[in-house]
């Protein structure tokens, strides 16, 4: 089931909210579907957010995945902490 976000939200905030909810990353096409915006419009806001340093883009094969920079760093920190704890327990 697709979680829909209200259309009243500012587009950039809407995209950021979606990316925070999906730490695995989302493609532009998926963001367009979830926000009910065109792919072109989403691309415009993605470029603005990348320029502002608020999201990260990673190319995996032919897909370009977008990540919330804030959420991505949280996940990386969590994984780093888990690795350190596992090393201490050995």
Look at residues 15, 69, 67, 4 and name the one whose alpha carbon lies nearest to residue 39: 15
CB 19 within 8 A of CB 55: yes
Reading phi first (left if > 0) and then psi (alpha if -120 to 50, else beta), residue 25 is in left
Structural domains of the chain in order of their starting residue, each with its CATH number:
11-89 (1.10.10.10)
Per-residue pLDDT of 29-78, as tens digits, reads: 999 999 999 999 999 999 999 999 999 998 988 889 999 988 878 877 88
Per-residue pLDDT of 3-31, as tens digits, reads: 555 556 699 999 999 999 998 899 999 99
């Amino acid at each position: 089931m697709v979680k829909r976000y209200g259309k009243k939200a500012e587009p950039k905030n809407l995209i950021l909210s979606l990316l925070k909810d999906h730490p695995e990353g989302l493609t532009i096409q998926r963001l367009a579907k979830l926000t009910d915006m065109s792919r072109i419009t989403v691309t415009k806001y993605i470029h603005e957010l990348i320029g502002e340093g608020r999201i990260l883009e990673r190319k995996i094969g032919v897909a370009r995945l977008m990540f919330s920079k804030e959420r991505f760093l949280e996940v990386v920190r969590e994984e780093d902490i888990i690795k350190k704890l596992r090393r201490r327990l050995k």
